[in-house]
Amino acid sequence: MSPAGGTRAGRILRSVPAYLVIVFLVAPLVVVAATSFTSGALVEFPPRGFSLRWYVTAFGEEQFLEGLAHSAWLAAISTAFALVIGYVAALAITRNPRGARLVNVIALGPLFVSSAVLGLAFLIILSKIGMLGNPFGVLVAYIVITLPFTTRMIAGVLAGQGTDAEIAARVYGAGRLRAIMGVTIPLSAQGVFTAAVYSFVHAFDESVIINFIGSVRYQTFPGVMIARLRETFDPVASVYSTLILAVTIVVVVLAARLFGLDRLSGGVGGRDN
């Protein structure tokens, strides 16, 4: 075998594990999407025939639509609050070494606590103040669980970009707040966007804590899906999962085109010339 052929064979063999990992990750998503187009009465793979009947049925399911609206609202509002609070916390972590450790522990603490423990804690607190099952009580809980993601990611971005640009702005007469608003925040926009994406997805997908603090009248999308699958195994859940997957792919593709996939994932690249 020629050296070129041996090199090519070696590259193929080295690529096999990577392709196996890709198949391992993508296969479940393909299965879910395929089952949403079945013409049968239950979720099964391979699907029995091809039909859009379950898509028509899904859009008439008020519980799913309400749960989807609740999850989207909670995820969007909690992400907005978590971005603001997380940015302030990230500034404290990266600019004030004395208070950084305390702020770091407070902001990142929920990352290391079980969701079940947090759910029980929120259950006790919200029931004590009369906000159990209340949308605003749920919102507060979601802000707490999304805050670690925004704080951690924004702090990493701020630490990486340094303070040179902000100091330069202050040398030329800008106050500290103006320098942060006009220089620091725009320079960290990509990191803020990435933090927002992770925070939104985490809040939208939250399915443990809501079981402690939600109510029959206020269910999120994961709760509605779990309840539906306990009652029946029809493909309605597969339909909504496929639609959410499609929207996620579109968002990721658009973000990758705008910012670059390596930057979106937090990769460190070289400086643009």
Please write the tens of the pLDDT for every residue from 77-89: 999 999 998 888 8
Q: State how far the Cα of 90 lies from the Cα of 86, in Å rounded to an integer.
A: 6
The ranges assigned to domains in the chain are 62-264
129-167, pLDDT tens digit by residue? Answer: 887 777 888 888 889 888 888 888 888 777 776 666 666
Query: What pLDDT is recorded for position 80?
Result: 92
110-134, pLDDT tens digit by residue? Answer: 767 778 888 888 888 888 888 777 7
CATH code given to domain 62-264: 1.10.3720.10
Query: What pLDDT is recorded for position 213?
Result: 81
Query: What pLDDT is recorded for position 248?
Result: 77
